[in-house]
């Protein structure tokens, strides 16, 4: 009996053990790849657009992920990021249903895999002086052996991992790329003077390289007379001195439903300094003549928007030590400045700009004009003349007076638009007087415009982007004498032709500087080798979002800026701005007091006779001592104000850190303990009952 019972117990134990092992193995395979993503921005989940994008690739794509696991030992940030990339690529391959295959390769030192990685364009990162190298890159290949590489996957660029990989996959897996026209007066393709190294030509802008990677780009010169045929979209950057023929061609393209992304600028800081127009006046503005008014907006090229809410921090030296302050015309436009219901801006976190202009929406237009980017209510419009020569951040802050309303900085125009030119090529709508550039003399004073002499019954004479030259036959002075007719015949006026209309699909941005590299991207280099790029803002993502909407591929629209990689403390910023304004006001008072004291000392010194220059009278000596004490006290108070400002700002940050890191976890732990004790008490009470 005992033996039978023992055998039964052993058999039951063995059965349970086998069942548990089988369940563990089955569950391991069943839930492989399954996870719960509870992050706020779904950072660890594929976007809904990924599966459709990879499933409709024209070509199957092979992904080779190179990761030096041994070299990454002791580098937890690199190791965790490499695991994140590998898991993401595995999910992409699984979602593609066979269109994407993945290989994970460890390029060990002196191995064939290491040679293949270098030949494919993977950049090794040297970790120390012993020659130890780390490879962390991705190579995509298609069936015809075309390949593109991401030389180094920067952990700082993790929010853009999904977009970068999908852009690489689409670039290599699509047989035909959309065609865009690029019309610009700026050296986007490089080749101009390099301000960093005049001995080397300037490199292409990163936005230009990205456009070349994703699209067939047709460069259009500002001197061309017409747009090329077959454009899927047109990008216009800082248009200056365009001919009437080219403007008419753009007008016709827009009326036919052509998609246009235009970057105008009231003061383009990216414009090369030697590129001076209007007699060296310093004018760096641009416009599209009558086109913008025909499209439903008013563009004033002589105004710049200043904004205290979105102002970027810059270093300024003024009479004393270097100070860090807000530069009101360099804006870091955060989420609340961007339209959240538009696909081009809805998932962006920040757009950086310099000297942005303002756009007014005309009430008479029939198209739907929707703001995409707006300033805060703490903004005002400045005359562009103030910043053409010597920008003064401190002076701008001193004279800043918010107008209490938001300025529109970028718009989308969709729907019926009017023609800017009639069939004969004449403008149907004239530009407002304020849209014309301001002429400046070398000393910075404004040059008055030469008044035009009106000629009766004559079309306007002149050349430029807004009007055509009048025929010589219209000139009264050049017309031959004609004998008067006996009796004039009545003239029958031809019926007015209805204005031409079309359907517009246009995005207009009031700044071209946001395309410049320094405003949104920073390259990581090792000598002449580019290891990768660190994205500081979503400027490039904004441009590509718009173009992807224009070219019909909407799959990538939800792949931008996955996560809030910059999350400032808004309350801390408000306190800092208020304290800084108080400091600047007191600084001006103390600086004036110091200057008055120094001026009084100079006056006393001048009152002495030549033979007594080195001798002070008792009255003068007492006055000098008093003034020196006042000057020292003012300077001491100034240092104290600056010190208190910094101490208050840092103290607030410390308190917030303690609340978030210490106080809230303790509160949560305390609540958990209370709930546990209460549950235990209820359990004991129920058990006794």
| Backbone phi and psi for residue 204, each to the nearest 5 degrees, phi listed first | -60, 150
- Tell me what pLDDT residue 491 has: 40
* Other Cβ atoms closer than 10 A to 20: 10
In Å, how far are 7, 25, 107, 111, 204 from 166, measured between CA atoms? 61, 34, 24, 29, 23
Pull the structure tokens for residue 55: 């499933």
Rounded CA-CA distance 212/234 in Å is 14
Rounded CA-CA distance 173/122 in Å is 20
Q: Is 272 exposed, middle or buried (0-12, 13-18, 19+ CB in 10 A)?
A: middle
Sign of the C-alpha dihedral, residues 317, 319, 320, 324? Answer: negative
- Tell me what pLDDT residue 682 has: 82
Q: What is the DSSP letter of 377?
A: S
Rounded CA-CA distance 39/49 in Å is 19
Rounded CA-CA distance 669/689 in Å is 30
Task: Quickly list DSSP for 626-686.
Answer: HHHHHHHHHHHHHHHHHHHHHHHHHHHHHHHHHIIIIIHHHHHHHHHHHHHHHHHHHHHHH
Rounded CA-CA distance 462/299 in Å is 22
Q: What is the CA radius of gyration of the chain?
A: 34
Q: Is 456 exposed, middle or buried (0-12, 13-18, 19+ CB in 10 A)?
A: exposed
Beta bridge partners of 218: 181
* pLDDT profile of the chain (689 residues), mean per 10: 67 72 63 58 70 84 93 86 90 90 91 90 77 88 86 79 82 82 93 62 87 91 94 96 94 94 94 56 85 93 93 78 86 93 85 95 87 96 83 85 95 93 84 51 47 38 36 35 41 50 93 94 65 80 89 58 50 66 70 72 67 62 74 75 71 75 81 83 77
Sign of the C-alpha dihedral, residues 587, 593, 599, 601? Answer: negative
Pull the structure tokens for residue 83: 């695991």
Taking a C-beta distance cutoff of 8 angstroms, is the pair 269, 355 a contact? yes
Beta bridge partners of 408: 359, 374
Q: What is the DSSP letter of 427?
A: B
Taking a C-beta distance cutoff of 8 angstroms, is the pair 184, 238 a contact? yes
Taking a C-beta distance cutoff of 8 angstroms, is the pair 231, 218 a contact? yes
Sign of the C-alpha dihedral, residues 613, 618, 619, 625? Answer: positive
**Distance of alpha carbon 333 from the chain centroid:** 8
Rounded CA-CA distance 582/324 in Å is 15
**Distance of alpha carbon 645 from the chain centroid:** 31
Rounded CA-CA distance 640/662 in Å is 31
* Other Cβ atoms closer than 10 A to 644: 13
- Tell me what pLDDT residue 583 has: 66
Taking a C-beta distance cutoff of 8 angstroms, is the pair 414, 505 a contact? yes
- Tell me what pLDDT residue 305 has: 96
Taking a C-beta distance cutoff of 8 angstroms, is the pair 393, 316 a contact? yes
- Tell me what pLDDT residue 192 has: 65
Q: Is 34 exposed, middle or buried (0-12, 13-18, 19+ CB in 10 A)?
A: exposed
Rounded CA-CA distance 88/562 in Å is 13
Termini Cα distance of the chain: 41
Q: What is the DSSP letter of 266?
A: S
- Tell me what pLDDT residue 292 has: 94
Name the packing angle between helices 570-606 and 618-658 (round to 10°).
170
Q: What is the DSSP letter of 430?
A: P
Beta bridge partners of 446: 440
Sign of the C-alpha dihedral, residues 75, 76, 82, 86? Answer: positive
Rounded CA-CA distance 53/554 in Å is 9
Pull the structure tokens for residue 265: 């600028």
Greatest CA separation for the chain:
146
Q: What is the DSSP letter of 109?
A: T
- Tell me what pLDDT residue 678 has: 82
Secondary structure, 3-state, 520-581 = CEEEEEECCEEEEEEECCCHHHHHHHHHHHHCCCCCCCCCCCCCCCCCCCHHHHHHHHHHHH
Taking a C-beta distance cutoff of 8 angstroms, is the pair 285, 263 a contact? no
């Amino acid at each position: 009996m005992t033996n039978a019972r023992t055998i039964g117990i052993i058999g039951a134990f063995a059965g349970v053990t086998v069942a548990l092992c089988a369940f563990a193995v089955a569950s391991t395979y069943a839930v492989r790849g399954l996870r719960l993503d509870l992050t706020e921005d779904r950072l660890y989940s594929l976007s809904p657009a990924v599966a459709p994008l990879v499933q409709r690739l024209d070509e199957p794509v092979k992904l080779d992920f190179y990761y030096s696991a041994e070299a990454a030992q002791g580098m937890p940030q690199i190791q965790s990021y490499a695991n994140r990339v590998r898991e993401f690529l595995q999910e992409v391959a699984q979602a593609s249903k066979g269109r994407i295959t993945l290989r994970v390769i460890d390029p060990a030192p002196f191995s064939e895999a290491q040679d293949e990685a270098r030949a494919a364009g993977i950049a090794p990162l040297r970790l120390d002086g012993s020659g130890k190298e780390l490879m962390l890159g991705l190579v995509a290949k298609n069936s015809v052996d075309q390949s593109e590489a991401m030389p180094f996957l920067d952990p700082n660029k993790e929010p853009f991992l999904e977009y970068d990989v999908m852009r690489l996959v689409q670039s290599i897996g699509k047989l035909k790329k959309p065609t865009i026209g690029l019309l610009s007066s700026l050296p986007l393709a490089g080749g101009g003077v390099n301000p960093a190294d005049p001995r080397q030509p300037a490199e292409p802008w990163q936005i230009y390289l990205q456009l070349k990677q994703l699209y067939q780009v047709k460069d259009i010169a500002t001197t061309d007379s017409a747009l090329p045929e077959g454009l899927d979209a047109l990008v216009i950057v800082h248009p200056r001195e365009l001919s009437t023929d080219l403007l008419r061609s753009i007008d016709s393209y827009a009326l036919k439903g052509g998609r246009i992304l235009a970057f105008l600028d009231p003061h383009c800081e990216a414009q090369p300094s030697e590129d001076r127009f209007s007699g060296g006046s310093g004018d760096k503005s641009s416009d599209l003549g009558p086109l913008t008014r025909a499209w439903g907006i008013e563009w004033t090229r002589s105004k710049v928007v200043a904004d205290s809410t979105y102002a970027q921090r810059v270093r300024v030296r003024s009479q004393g030590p270097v100070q860090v302050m807000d530069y009101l015309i360099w804006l870091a436009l955060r989420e609340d400045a961007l339209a959240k219901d538009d696909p081009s801006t809805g998932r962006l976190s920040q757009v950086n700009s310099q000297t942005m202009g303002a756009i007014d929406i005309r009430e008479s237009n029939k198209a739907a004009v929707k703001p995409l980017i707006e300033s805060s209510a703490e903004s005002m419009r400045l005359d562009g003349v103030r910043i053409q020569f010597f920008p003064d951040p401190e002076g701008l802050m001193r004279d800043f007076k918010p107008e209490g309303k938001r300025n529109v900085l970028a718009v989308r125009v969709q729907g019926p638009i009017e023609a800017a030119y009639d069939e004969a090529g004449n403008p149907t709508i004239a530009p407002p007087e304020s849209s014309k550039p301001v002429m400046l003399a070398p000393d910075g004073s404004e040059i008055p415009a030469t008044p035009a002499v009106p000629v009766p019954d004559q079309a306007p004479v002149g050349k430029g982007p807004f009007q055509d030259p009048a025929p010589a036959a219209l000139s009264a002075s050049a017309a031959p004498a004609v004998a008067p007719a006996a009796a004039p015949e009545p003239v029958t006026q031809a019926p007015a032709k209805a204005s031409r209309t079309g359907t517009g699909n246009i995005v207009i941005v009031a700044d071209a500087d946001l395309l410049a590299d320094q405003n949104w991207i920073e390259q990581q280099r090792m000598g002449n080798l580019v290891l990768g790029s660190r994205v500081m803002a979503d400027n490039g993502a904004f441009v590509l979002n718009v173009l992807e909407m224009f070219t019909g591929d909407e799959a990538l629209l939800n792949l931008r800026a996955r996560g809030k990689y910059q999350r400032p403390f808004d309350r801390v910023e408000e306190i800092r701005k208020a304290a800084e304004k108080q400091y600047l006001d007191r600084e001006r008072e103390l600086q004036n007091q110091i200057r008055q004291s120094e001026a009084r000392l100079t006056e006393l010194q001048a009152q002495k006779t030549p033979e007594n220059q080195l001798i002070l009278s008792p009255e003068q000596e007492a006055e000098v001592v008093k003034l020196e004490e006042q000057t020292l006290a003012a300077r001491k108070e100034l240092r104290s104000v600056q010190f208190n400002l910094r101490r208050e700002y840092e103290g607030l940050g410390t308190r917030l850190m303690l609340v978030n890191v210490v106080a809230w976890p303790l509160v949560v732990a305390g609540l958990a303990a209370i709930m546990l004790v209460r549950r235990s008490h209820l359990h004991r009470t129920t058990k006794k009952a």
